[in-house]
Structure 1
Amino acid sequence: MTRRIGKIAVLIMAIFALTFTGIVSAQDQLPGNVTITFAHTNDMHGRIVEGADVLGFPKIYSAVEQLKASNPNTLLIDAGDTFHGLPVVNIDRGETAVKLMNELGYVYMTTGNHDYNYGFDRLMELSKMAEFKILAANVYKDGERAFPAYDIREMGGVRVAFFGLATPETAYKADPKGIEGVTFGDPIVEAKLIVAELAGKYDLLVCISHVGIDDSSDPTSITVAKFVPQIDVIIDGHSHSTLADIEKKNTTSTLITSTGSYGAGLGVVDIVVGPDRKVISKTARTITPKNSPDLKANPSIAKVLDDLVKAQDAVLSQVVGRTEIKLEGTREIVRTQQSNLGTLIANSMLYATGADFALMNGGGIRDSIPVGDITMKQIYTVQPFGNFIQSGKVLGKEIDAILENGVGKLPAPDGRFPHVANLTYTLDASKPAGDRVSNIMIGGEPIDPEKEYTIATLNFIFNGGDDYRMLVGKAQNDYPTDAEVFMAYIKYLGTITNDNIVFKK
């Protein structure tokens, strides 16, 4: 109650401060125009190694160095969901990501919901390893701010204030056990409080946000900009939006920018501040592999990354279980029929989530596992994409459309083919697509059309991947990556046989 009253009092002062900003004493004039550049990343999810559509840390370093050579008033920022994703960062629970971010010279970051996937305590450990500041004004642990809310630095004589905002959705998108005692304040309220506290102390206000612009999010970064117009720039994450996506939606005077996701690009923001310390112009662009084909990887960063990956090989060779049967992951099979490996993976989702049924798409199964010991490397070979397990609610009458989509391309092999757990159905592939599924049962019982069931599947599927568009917007809870969940289930089973593939609650 005391903290709430204190916030209300500060918010009243905020309104007063925002109304009478003209009474702040004037700063000295700048000798001329000053250009400030922010290079930024977001939602990398472990995509730090260069690929066809991934810029990669070595090239990001080179691009930032070029920006600094053109303008010394340049710094590098990340907007979250960086410590967790692919095996390269998961194996040591985010330490590799932090080490490389230190090498690249990141200055600021805010937390994404997936950065809590190792638990809050581990995130705090990573923050202590970081040579950059993690800012988050609205993250509280046991009633106290868990991270610095803001930081002010001078860039070319301009006072630039940075503050961070995390998505409140973290409260239910991260494992609740890992964030006990952690709360996430309203981004709009927290932003207003920061503006009030910093009144008269900055010339340029930058919000590093992992809030996003998804219509399902409340609030969005655009809403924050509408209610807190003092923010000059929002460097955003969470919704995996590109700069073009944001420009279509943003009607505020605040520049909001993001790079998409999965290391697809490096964002660049250029701000020109006039001698009177007022912003003259704000522009944004994105450096991508396609529009910068001549960008070369920095050899020293490439070597650091290569050495780290080699050091992880010893970890990847660790045995996590054993199978007495071949686990079938052949492409032509898993894209046309349910295999024992698909069954095992789908049941691992039930084990992790407690859902009523689970679905794994055949396209996400990339290899078989032969009889014998199972290593971490084999698991990450089978499931290399770093997708996250999510769960959500569907009505019984909606399940038919899910399954019809999954079998709709038969007899042709297709990545959408559904490998299911705790669900059975009758398939007649001779019928027209859309009318092939009947006799759907969950847990051995016919589905109730009006009953809500919990489905577990990949974030890729919940995002409409493989044309599962009927599941878009239905995800409610987040879990670790598919490979991590699969590995946990294998460890739980110990030795896999034909008799124990199916999870028994």
Structure 2
Amino acid sequence: MKHRKKFLALFLAVVMVFSFAVTAFAQETSDPSLTFLHFNDIHANVLENEDSGQIGLAKFKTYIEQVNPDLILDAGDSLHGTTFATLSEGATMRAILQDVGVNVATAGNHDFNYGTDRLIELSRDGNYPILVANYKDAADDSLPFEANMIFDRQGYKIGVFGLATPETKTASNPLNTEGYDFLDVVTIAKEQVEYLESEGADVIIALVHLGLYDSEPLAEAVAGIDIIIDGHSHDTLPEGKVVNGVLIATTGNHLENIGRIDLVIEEGEITSKTAQLVTYDEASQLEANAAIADRIEELNAENDEIGQIVLGEALVDLDGERENVRTRETNLGNLISDIMLETTEADVALTNGGGIRASIPKGQITMAHVLTTFPFTNYLVVIEVSGSDLVAALEHGLRADLDEDGNLEQNGGFPQIGGMRVVYDKTRDPGDRVVTVTVGSDLVDPEASYKLVTNDFLAIGGDGYSMFSEAEKLSEHELLSEVLASYIKAEETISPEVDGRMEQVEDAVTDPDDDSEDLPKTGETQQPIAVGIVLIITAAGMLFIPLRKYQLKNNK
């Protein structure tokens, strides 16, 4: 009997230990109560691209169907960036993201590129909502976008509010937000949390387009936010980042990753929240969703019809030939540079000839012509540069070796310019070819600051323009293709010319033993030259007076 009691006690102890272990294991491996998928800054890149590691929306849809998430959230900058979106001013992106299954979005700075009125129109098209709580009409303080929403999922209330970056005032054309004000993100976030809590939200998500440099301070300053899903800075957080108890998640850009967040909620409390990224290597193994792939083709066909719209007429051929735009000034290079200046009111313009991919023939100009000539999604950026950096940039653009005929070899970085006149000598060594640079009527001042409009590729140091990479960014604007199309449409007829703004010195000194001094390329030696001229005139005058006296004396 004693043995039986001992056995029974031992059995019960083992069962209790086993039960405790099973319970503990179950707690550690609990299925998530809620799962969210998210992305940011896809910039209308809808297709898979193996070279750049872009997943594409068709395979994203396949992953969505496998996971069956509770929410799919877009942290902004989706409606602009490629011709898939820009030809329809964002309508095609709204349509395809609705088909993919997006539930809610906030607005990125580039989503404003079509103007606030157009973004408001898109937000009311019957597709998923766009939330922006910190943007108001300056005239009447009204909010043009919804501020928040509450979603009921799995018996839980999920409150989502949206914030857009105040940098939009300069990170998109300032005209796009004219008449509207951005409100303080911390103040508005506190108000939104208070409201959503009062509505019984179990989970509060801040869906923001701020960048980590602003979303991390937001997490520190505002209590009650559970998750921040961020965009704008294109940062990648493989496992998210916890700041003040807030899980911050962001995916990079161009749908190179899919963001996933899993929550475990027990007895009304969030006991676990984790973030992860599904990379291109993982997602590329999926089969593309046929319906989404077909829908993209259908929308592209609609875009092709838009491409046949006539914008205006060219009275001359617009020279975008590869061998010309990469070696010399052309009328098309002058045209786009002048349009860049007019659009941004910068002091000078510089874009790379390699970004001009085709000529536009004399006659009617269609949108297809423009997109063939500027197929890339480069947009205008205004930066502040010194005169010395401007000269360095021109030297860099003129660095190509000479071919057997003594002409510059083709160079994608050859500068097509506006707002300045450059005289250069191709026979000199690379890095010392610029003879003079004139901005307006004055030689460039190496110590002065100039507003330079270029494209986003060069602004970050592309094509070797490293002198631009650390420059202060003053504003961002539309795509090169967009500003060209708008200009042609407004002017109706165009006939740009080559006007000698980039001039080669034909009679340059070629004797290597000639030590003669060259004209200054900047204004740094104007004062010594002026002083020298004054001294010469003074000396001549001093000689002239006694000579004149001698002549008068002998004429008597």
TM-score range relative to shorter protein: 0.7 to 0.9
Shift of 1:432: 4.7
Could you give the per-residue CA deviations for residues 65-123 of structure 1, whole angstroms, max 9, x where no partner exists?
1221xxxx432111111222222212222111111122112111001112122221211
Matched, 1:179 2:177: yes
What is aligned with 1:382?
373
Structure 1 runs not aligned, ≥5 long = 1-31, 215-219
What is aligned with 1:138?
134
How far apart, CA to CA, are the structure 1 residues paired with 2:179 and 2:217?
27
How far apart, CA to CA, are the structure 2 residues paired with 1:87 and 1:181?
28
What is aligned with 2:158?
160
What is aligned with 1:279?
271
Residue-pair matches, total? 460
Q: Could you say if the C-alpha distance between residues 197 and 362 of structure 1 is closer, same or farther in structure 2, counting changes exceeding 3 Å?
A: same
Of residues 302, 309, 320, the one that matches 1:311 is: 302
C-alpha RMSD of matched pairs (Å):
2.7
Q: 1:471-482 alignment to 2 at 5 Å?
A: 471-472=468-469, 473-482=471-480
Q: 1:347-366 alignment to 2 at 5 Å?
A: 347-366=338-357
Matched, 1:231 2:233: no
What secondary structure is seen at the aligned counterpart in 2 of 1:291?
helix
Q: Could you say if the C-alpha distance between residues 401 and 272 of structure 1 is closer, same or farther in structure 2, counting changes exceeding 3 Å?
A: farther
What is aligned with 1:421?
418
> Normalised by the size of structure 1, how large is the TM-score?
0.83
Shift of 1:339: 2.8
Shift of 1:409: 4.8
What secondary structure is seen at the aligned counterpart in 2 of 1:129?
coil
Query: Is residue 153–residue 160 contact of structure 1 (8 Å, CA) maintained in 2?
Result: yes
Matched, 1:93 2:89: yes
Q: Could you say if the C-alpha distance between residues 35 and 335 of structure 1 is closer, same or farther in structure 2, counting changes exceeding 3 Å?
A: farther
What is aligned with 1:46?
44
What is aligned with 2:259?
267
Query: Is residue 240–residue 274 contact of structure 2 (8 Å, CA) maintained in 1?
Result: no
Shift of 1:483: 0.2
How far apart, CA to CA, are the structure 2 residues paired with 1:104 and 1:277?
31
How far apart, CA to CA, are the structure 1 residues paired with 2:73 and 2:395?
44
How far apart, CA to CA, are the structure 2 residues paired with 1:429 and 1:74?
63
How far apart, CA to CA, are the structure 1 residues paired with 2:291 and 2:120?
28
Matched, 1:240 2:234: yes
How far apart, CA to CA, are the structure 1 residues paired with 2:204 and 2:268?
16
How far apart, CA to CA, are the structure 2 residues paired with 1:399 and 1:455?
9
What is aligned with 1:451?
448
Which stretch of structure 1 is more off in the superposition, 43-52 or 111-120?
43-52
Shift of 1:484: 0.8
Q: Could you say if the C-alpha distance between residues 447 and 197 of structure 1 is closer, same or farther in structure 2, counting changes exceeding 3 Å?
A: same
What secondary structure is seen at the aligned counterpart in 2 of 1:34?
coil
How far apart, CA to CA, are the structure 2 residues paired with 1:500 and 1:419?
11
Query: Is residue 344–residue 502 contact of structure 1 (8 Å, CA) maintained in 2?
Result: no
Q: 1:189-208 alignment to 2 at 5 Å?
A: 189-199=187-197, 201-208=200-207
What secondary structure is seen at the aligned counterpart in 2 of 1:106?
coil
What secondary structure is seen at the aligned counterpart in 2 of 1:272?
strand
Q: 1:382-421 alignment to 2 at 5 Å?
A: 382-410=373-401, 413-421=410-418
What is aligned with 1:150?
148
Query: Is residue 229–residue 253 contact of structure 1 (8 Å, CA) maintained in 2?
Result: no
Shift of 1:126: 0.6
Could you give the per-residue CA deviations for residues 199-242 of structure 1, whole angstroms, max 9, x where no partner exists?
3633322111110135xxxxx11221222253232211112222
Which has the higher relative contact order, 1 or 2, with Cα contacts under 8 A spaced 6 or more apart?
1
| Counterpart AA for 2:252 | G
Could you give the per-residue CA deviations for residues 448-502 of structure 1, whole angstroms, max 9, x where no partner exists?
2343322111122223322333333522222221101111223344333354889
Could you give the per-residue CA deviations for residues 427-455 of structure 1, whole angstroms, max 9, x where no partner exists?
34454544333411112421123433221
Matched, 1:470 2:467: yes
| Counterpart AA for 1:67 | V
How far apart, CA to CA, are the structure 2 residues paired with 1:101 and 1:342?
36
Query: Is residue 390–residue 476 contact of structure 1 (8 Å, CA) maintained in 2?
Result: yes
What is aligned with 1:497?
495
How far apart, CA to CA, are the structure 1 residues paired with 2:239 and 2:370?
35
Structure 2 runs not aligned, ≥5 long = 1-29, 403-408, 502-556
Between structure 1 and structure 2, the one with the greater Rg is 2
How far apart, CA to CA, are the structure 1 residues paired with 2:60 and 2:164?
24
Which stretch of structure 1 is more off in the superposition, 336-345 or 346-355?
336-345
Query: Is residue 351–residue 416 contact of structure 2 (8 Å, CA) maintained in 1?
Result: yes
Could you give the per-residue CA deviations for residues 248-302 of structure 1, whole angstroms, max 9, x where no partner exists?
xx765433222222333322222333345223131221332x4322222211122
Q: 1:7-156 alignment to 2 at 5 Å?
A: 34-52=32-50, 53=52, 54-68=54-68, 73-141=69-137, 142-156=140-154
Query: Is residue 268–residue 287 contact of structure 1 (8 Å, CA) maintained in 2?
Result: no
How far apart, CA to CA, are the structure 2 residues paired with 1:499 and 1:207?
52
How far apart, CA to CA, are the structure 2 residues paired with 1:385 and 1:245?
32
Could you give the per-residue CA deviations for residues 395-422 of structure 1, whole angstroms, max 9, x where no partner exists?
3233122223333454554432221112
Q: Could you say if the C-alpha distance between residues 465 and 314 of structure 1 is closer, same or farther in structure 2, counting changes exceeding 3 Å?
A: same
Query: Is residue 240–residue 275 contact of structure 2 (8 Å, CA) maintained in 1?
Result: no
What secondary structure is seen at the aligned counterpart in 1 of 2:357?
coil
